[in-house]
Amino acid sequence: MGKDAKDNPPNIDCQTDDDGSTCSHMPELAEVEYFRKQWNPGLKHAIRDVRLHPNARIFRSCEVEELRSHLTGGELVSSSAAAKQMAFRTHRQGWLGIHLGMSGALSVANADYVSRPADHLVLVQIERTLVFSDFRMFGRVQFSIGKAVPDWWSKIAPAIASKEFSPAAVGAFLKRRTRTSIKAVLLMQERFPGIGNWMADEILWRAAIHPKRIAGSLDAEEVRNLHREIRWVSRRALETIGETMADPPDTWLFPHRWQNGGKCPRSGAVLAREVVGGRTTCWSPARQKLR
């Protein structure tokens, strides 16, 4: 991704299905981390002007004029990411929350940047412009003032890297959703924050678990293996996509999952694709047996 938002943002909706339709995916843990960092050059620099579309759907849970007044003349002082969301703190004890939705992107443009229709929140500084664009407007901007952590941030589930995310916690969650497919369960943000469609497929492929397996059928060893792969994929995704938006290496399922006739990088068998848990899912029939 270039430094100027006039360039096209990284295409996270880039895959095409067999019938020619686009297979988009919501930004997941690593993509959110990447986009969070794009605004880092603007931290601790004064915001001269705030441009926004007050009636845009992304502001549906935000007091727009309060946000505009608070940010104008103020500064963003820090940023953090959790699950599929990010938060920016202001020097006036404000919390600016951004959820990218399906097509949202954060970028940095020149100071004289001319906003486009899809740029719904634009923060103008002396040396640069911070841009939040969202073509489909499934994203969301949230705003709170105060020392206390707002509910929309504190209610996010414990991070996958945290000690609270243990094999026991994963096993207990699966038991409460005994009859649900493991693919659908992995997409539940209340236990697996930041895991989305492609990451769930990657995890199950590495754990050799069929996406249609019902969650309650996994034994203790499989749960431990699943937990290990969730942490490994999350960590490695942050180290690759989260840093440079680069695709993972060919040894991953990721580069092969949307190829017509794509093959499993481990077994060499042709990959399968089908809707599971409401999402187009890819797996290796030779590696992931349904039992």
Q: Which tokens sit at 68? A: 């505009």
How does pLDDT run across 195-222, given as a tens digit for each residue?
Answer: 999 999 999 999 999 999 999 999 999 9
Measured distance CA(275)–CA(279) in Å, rounded: 5
CA 16 to each of CA 24, 214, 259, 260: distance values in angstroms, whole numbers, following the listed order: 8, 28, 9, 10
How does pLDDT run across 63-116, given as a tens digit for each residue?
Answer: 999 999 999 999 999 999 999 999 999 999 999 999 999 889 999 999 999 999
CA 200 to each of CA 32, 164, 173, 215: distance values in angstroms, whole numbers, following the listed order: 16, 20, 16, 13
| Mean pLDDT taken over the chain | 91
| Residue 35, φ and ψ in degrees, nearest 5 | -70, -35
Q: Which tokens sit at 232? A: 């490994």
**CA dihedral of residues 194, 32, 276, 283 (deg, nearest 10):** -100
Check pLDDT > 90 for residue 19: no
Local confidence band at 25 (pLDDT 50, 70, 90 cut-offs): low
Q: Kindly give, in sequence order, each residue whose CB lies less than 8 Å from that of residue 163, ignoring residues fewer than 6 positions away.
A: none
Measured distance CA(281)–CA(252) in Å, rounded: 15
Q: Which tokens sit at 250? A: 């060919």
Q: Which domains does the chain have, with CATH numbers?
A: 15-154 (3.20.190.10), 167-283 (1.10.8.50)
Q: Kindly give, in sequence order, each residue whose CB lies less than 8 Å from that of residue 2, ignoring residues fewer than 6 positions away.
A: none
Angle at 25 between CA 289 and CA 60, to 5 degrees: 135
Taking the complete model, does pTM exceed 0.85, yes or no? yes
Bridge pairing between strands 104-109 and 22-23 = unpaired
Check pLDDT > 60 for residue 9: no
